[in-house]
Structure 1
Amino acid sequence: MSTLIPQQLVAAQQSSLEALFGLTNKAFEGFEQLVALNLQVGKAVLAENQEIVTKALSAGNPGALFALQASLSQPVAEKVVAYGRRVHEIVSGVQSEITAAATAQGQQFQRDAQGFVESLQKNTPAGSESAVAAWNSVLSAANATYESANKAAKQFVSSVSAVH
């Protein structure tokens, strides 16, 4: 038997590890974006609160204080909506990148597995057709499971995206 099959397995495992690390890096990039956004928002809120307290202390009368409070409610609501939108953009962006990478990896796995079975067919001795047929059966079941899981994941993502 040739060393082609073990080399294929090693290459497939290496490819899977590279994909895993790539997905992990994408997740960390998204986390970094969320942390940066929260730091930016935190700094802005602190500066705005300082300004509000300064205005409130210099208002002098309760009527001016109530007017100040009323004038601040609209910008706060707009900022909360903008913050939520930005969080959604970051999460959606990371999610779509991970989904695309996972789909590509799944398709590559299917091609590699098919190549593995074809290599088995070429390199197996006569009389081992039943073993190759078993591998083909396992591959077909794995492909069907992958397709089903991929479809369910896409439906879940679209339903979650529709809610937001």
Structure 2
Amino acid sequence: MSTLTPQQLVTAQQAGLETLFGLTNKAFEGFEKLVTLNFQVGKATLAESQEILAKGLSASNPGELLALPASLSQPAAEKVAAYGRQVHEIVSEVQSEISAAATAQVQQFQRDAQAFVENLKKNAPAGSESVIAAWNSAFSAASATYESANKAARQWVSTVSAAQ
């Protein structure tokens, strides 16, 4: 019966670590984009506050001062909506990349597991058919469970995205 060699285990561990670090880098890139966006919004808000204060202080009559908040409400609502869209885009992009990488990783695991079971079938001693069938059944059940969970997660993400 053929078993995994130490080199195969090292290669599998290296691939897993590369995937982990790749996903971690993607998450940090998304976080960096969010931080950059928040700094830009903070800087713009500070500049706008300074401008509003200057307008308020330079108002020559009470009517101008009372009209100032009304003139600011529409642009503020538009800015909040634009900010929300940008945050959603960043989060969706990161989620999509991580989901694609995770799906590829799971598919590779499924292929490797199936190859392992096939290798067991070829090299198994006589009388071990029931054990091989149990392994095959377990991997099939795990694959079906993953597919069901993945489909439910995609439907949930599309529902949440559609609501926004």
Amino acid at match of 1:54: A
Residue 14 of structure 1 deviates from its aligned partner by 3.4
Unaligned 5+ residue runs, structure 2? Answer: none
CA deviations over 1:86-141 (Å, ceiling 9, x no partner):
11111111111111111111111111111111122223323322222221111111
Equivalent residue, structure 1, for 2:124: 124
Residue 21 of structure 1: how far off its partner (Å): 2.3
Aligned position for 1:25: 25
Q: Which amino acid aligns with 2:124?
A: T
Any conservation in 1 of the 2:2–2:119 contact (CA below 8 Å)? no
Aligned positions, number: 164
Identity %: 77
CA RMSD, Structure 1 to Structure 2 (Å): 1.8
TM value normalised by structure 1: 0.90
User: 9-18 or 140-149: which moved more?
Assistant: 9-18
Tell me the TM-score normalized by structure 2.
Answer: 0.90
Letter in 2 for 1:141: A
Q: Which runs of 5+ in 1 are unaligned?
A: none
Task: Tell me, yes or no, if the aligned pair for 1:5 and 1:116 is still in contact at 8 Å.
Answer: no
Paired AA for residue 95 in structure 1:
Q
Aligned counterpart, 1:60:
60
Q: Which residue type is aligned with residue 46 of structure 1?
A: L
**Contact 1:8–1:116 (CA under 8 A) maintained in structure 2:** no
SS in 2 for 1:115: helix
Correspondence for 1:71? 71
Per mean C-alpha deviation after superposition, the further-off stretch among 145-154 and 18-27 is 18-27
Q: Which residue of 2 aligns with 1:104?
A: 104
2:159 aligned residue: 159
What's 2:47 paired with?
47
User: Which SS does the other structure have where 1:127 is aligned?
Assistant: coil
Alignment-derived partner of residue 80 in structure 1: 80
User: Following the alignment from structure 1 to structure 2, what is the Cα–Cα distance between the partners of residues 117 and 64?
Assistant: 79
* Corresponding position of 2:150: 150
